[in-house]
Structure 1
Amino acid sequence: MAGNPRNGRPYRTLCARQRALGLPCWLCGHEIDYSLTGYAAQRSAWAFTLDHAQPLTRGGDLLDPANARSAHRRCNSARGNRTTAQPPQARASRRW
């Protein structure tokens, strides 16, 4: 049984290389707080996550550097597996 490929050295290396670039979030354009690591990064919506331009569920390659993008955790989660570059806009909880 193979383990999770995101726990392997190739994926961690790709994340480290993308993080070292210090790029802004490719979805919203704002700066990412790269100082957050470990538990703080897991809890912060503004921490770095590796996003994939072509979602993995739509045929994107997990380890392809050309498919890797820097994103905020919040922006990455909001985008889901859509292929659009912008996360959906927040909607009001009710129609007024």
Structure 2
Amino acid sequence: MAGNPRNGRPYRRLCDQQRAMQYPCWICGTDIDYSLTGPEASKHPLAFTLDHLLPVSKRPDLLLDPANARSAHRRCNSRRGNRMTVKTAGASRRW
């Protein structure tokens, strides 16, 4: 049985490449605090996480595809879950 592919070297390399680009959060558009690393970043809501445009739960074949990788805040990534769409900040519902 294979382990979690997100614990492997290829996934960490993809995270490092995405982190090095220092992009803002693709979901809310605000800056990510890239200075947060290690244990403090694992719970901080404004820390960097690697998000996937097409969720891994629906497209596991794209886990390591750089074209599917996006920078996001931990909070935004968690809030989005595995939905295929993104609700942008400031968007309102029209009834």
Normalised to the residue count of structure 1, the TM-score between the two structures is 0.87
Write the mapping of 1:1-80 to structure 2, written as runs, cut at 5 A: 1-60=1-60, 61-80=62-81
The CA distance in 1 between the partners of 2:52 and 2:88, in whole Å, is 13
In 1, are the aligned partners of 2:28 and 2:89 still within 8 Å (CA)?
A: no
4+ long deviations beyond 6 Å = none
In 2, are the aligned partners of 1:26 and 1:85 still within 8 Å (CA)?
A: no
Q: Residues 87 and 76 (structure 1 numbering): CA distance in 2 closer, same or farther, change over 3 Å? A: farther
Kindly provide the amino acid, as one letter, of the partner of residue 75 in structure 1: C
Residues 15-39 of structure 1, C-alpha deviations (whole Å, 9 max, x = no match) = 0000000000000000000000011
In 2, are the aligned partners of 1:18 and 1:50 still within 8 Å (CA)?
A: yes
Deviation at 1:3, TM superposition (A): 1.1
Deviation at 1:57, TM superposition (A): 1.6
In 1, are the aligned partners of 2:46 and 2:73 still within 8 Å (CA)?
A: yes
In 2, are the aligned partners of 1:78 and 1:88 still within 8 Å (CA)?
A: no
Q: Which runs of 5+ in 2 are unaligned?
A: 91-95
In 2, are the aligned partners of 1:79 and 1:87 still within 8 Å (CA)?
A: no
The CA distance in 1 between the partners of 2:68 and 2:4, in whole Å, is 19
Count residues in correspondence.
89
The CA distance in 2 between the partners of 1:11 and 1:86, in whole Å, is 26
Q: Which residue of 1 aligns with 2:93?
A: none
Deviation at 1:87, TM superposition (A): 6.2
The CA distance in 2 between the partners of 1:27 and 1:86, in whole Å, is 8
